Amino acid sequence: MSRKIEKNKIWHAIHRTCISIILLCIVALLIKFAPNYEINHLADRTNLIINNNNITTDLKSDVLIENDEIYLSFDDVKNFFDEFLIIEDNKIVTTSNTKTVAIPIDGGKIYENGSYTSLDYDILQKDGNYYLPISKFNKIYNIEINYSKDKNIVTVDSLNRKAVTAIASKNLKVKYTTTSFSKTVDKVKRGDTLLLIQNENSKSKKWTKVRTENGVIGYVKTSKLLNETTVRENLEREPIQGKVSIAWDYYNQYNVAPTRTEPIKGVNVVAPSFFELRSDGSLAVNVGNSGNNYINWAKQNNIEVWPVLSNSMLNNLDAMSKILSTFQTRANLIDNIINELVKIDVQGIHVDFENMYMSDQNNYSRFIIELAPRLREIGIRLSVLLTAPDGSDTWSLCYDRNTIGKVADYVVFMGYDQHTASSQTAGTIAGADWVELNIKKFLGQEGIAKEKIILAMPFYTRLWTEQNGTVSSKVVNMKDVNIPDGVTKVWDDNLKQNYIEYSSGDTKYKMWIEDEDSISAKLDLVNKYDLAGAGFWEKDRENEDVWDIVAEKLN
């Protein structure tokens, strides 16, 4: 009897052991194939984590580590750090938020924001590709780079982004996902610092996503974190609050800035004509005492000053083309612009380069790309004036609006001269239907963000004359519009303008009037499409009452 009992005990022990083995196998299989188990396909590659995103699988080439330097391929730097990275004249030209840099491929002096420094690193060439030492580019791109040799992970953090850390209250296992049964991807010790990736208000969540000092990303229990600390705030420049409202104050190089004593109702930016481009790339500067008095007036009335840089006195497409043609000629012009801007107390600049060859489109874009970081470094906003899309080669097709829209703080759509002085038929200079059509083009086919678009509208019109089959016109300022006795205005609801037509002898006169009604309708388009704001060309051509409408419509 006792032998039978002993056999039963042995049998039950074997049975329990088999069940335990089976259960362990099942658990192992569940862990291996469950969704929260990490199968690391990247274990044999250097992993690259940018702003807490593992982008290793998106790299076009592997990360190289040679002589303690971390290298990324040209294409990967272009993809993740500078979409406008180019090679020009055997130099790699790169831009960042506040830097414009040209690096000679074969060694030499580096150009950085107007200064030259010695090259203390090499550009590698391998398998037909250039590799850039990203570990040396921390100042260029304002990033922090670390390499964990144990985990073979490179981490890159933008220093203009907010960062929050916490301390591990005890030894912790970092999990692949938000469950204790998940695979452990790293271990941290009590007192280690963890970078919080999400759940800044982490006390309301059971798990917090973190990055360890080794660069590993995973989850730990929120209750095990102490001393949550913001170690870096967002450093993005604050935009203008509310809608931008610009009054242009135009005067040529033979005149001086106007004397102003009162604020302009509804206006928070003024644009005086301080700078003109010369054919040698230098600037004709028209500031002086009158300009400084103008700046002081604007400052006293809480109005920002964005002076205009124009090429109107150049009047030479070949000279313009030469100035834009190389990195060095563009850099010389940019240096001139920065040198002048730091002398005066202004907050922005309008670049108004018109009448250029269509073949200079890319070079003009490069000028804007290379100018923008230099302006950000000194806290100056960049606004670029653009004509309506789909026009002539030298007036419209000379602009890459999409690229300019990505780089500039604002783009100004010059919503006028629908019919110009050379038009063979009489017509409005800024019908609301035409303006709206082109706003849609800026937003749609040109792909410019609405919060960057400023709609400029005219304080003038044209009086058209038709006589013996010949059409001519002259500019009439809004305040000077004169409607002869007996002539009645007719409202055109498509153009959102009042129209007059009358004859004297064999001459017929036509005018599409710009007045408070037409400006109000264009301001409605600014609000309809939630654009950045409006601009008005130009101050002192208007009826004074128009400013009440500007203030009302733009709040």
Indicate if 104 and 194 belong to the same structural domain. no
In a domain, 40, yes or no: no
**Is 539 a residue whose pLDDT tops 90?**
yes
Residues 436, 548 share a domain = yes
141 and 75 belong to one structural domain: yes
Residue in this structure with the two tokens 């800026």, named with its chain if needed = 442
What average pLDDT does this structure show over 213-221? Answer: 93
The answer to whether 217 touches 52, Cβ cutoff 8 Å, is yes
**Structure confidence at residue 20 (pLDDT):** 65
Decide which of 232, 254, 270 is a domain's last residue.
232
Hey, what long-range contacts does 523-529 have (CB within 8 A, 24 or more apart)? Answer: 523/457, 523/549, 523/550, 523/553, 523/554, 524/553, 525/432, 525/435, 525/436, 525/439, 525/455, 526/243, 526/455, 526/553, 526/554, 527/553, 529/439, 529/443, 529/450, 529/453
Residue 31 has pLDDT above 90, yes or no: no
The amino acid occupying position 543 is: N
Q: Which domain holds residue 88?
A: 47-145
The proportion of the chain whose per-residue pLDDT surpasses 90, expressed as a percent, equals 81
Instruction: Output the pLDDT for position 181.
Output: 85
Same domain, 331 and 214: no
What's residue 203's pLDDT?
47
CB burial of residue 249 (10 Å; 0-12, 13-18, 19+): buried
Q: Is residue 70 part of a domain?
A: yes
pLDDT at 201: 47
What total number of domains does the chain contain? 3
Q: What tens digit of pLDDT does each residue of 363-395 get?
A: 999 999 999 999 999 999 999 999 999 889 999
* Neighbour-count burial of 465, counting CB atoms closer than 10 A to its CB (0-12 exposed, 13-18 middle, 19+ buried): middle
Structure tokens at 511: 């005018």
For tokens 């599409």, name the residue.
512
Q: Look up the pTM and report it.
A: 0.88
Alpha carbon distance 306, 344 (integer Å) = 11
Do 258 and 390 fall into the same domain?
A: yes
Longest dimension (CA), the chain: 139
- Residue 143 is given by DSSP the state E
Same domain, 72 and 110: yes
Instruction: Note the pLDDT tens digit of each residue in 271-319.
Output: 999 999 999 999 999 999 999 999 999 999 999 999 999 999 888 999 9
pLDDT of 39 above 50: no
**Residue 180's CATH number:** 2.30.30.40
Last residue of a domain, one of 202, 232, 262: 232
Can you tell me the distance from the alpha carbon of 217 to that of 313, in angstroms, rounded to the nearest whole number?
A: 58
Rg over CA atoms, the chain: 32
- Classified as helix, coil or strand, 372 is helix
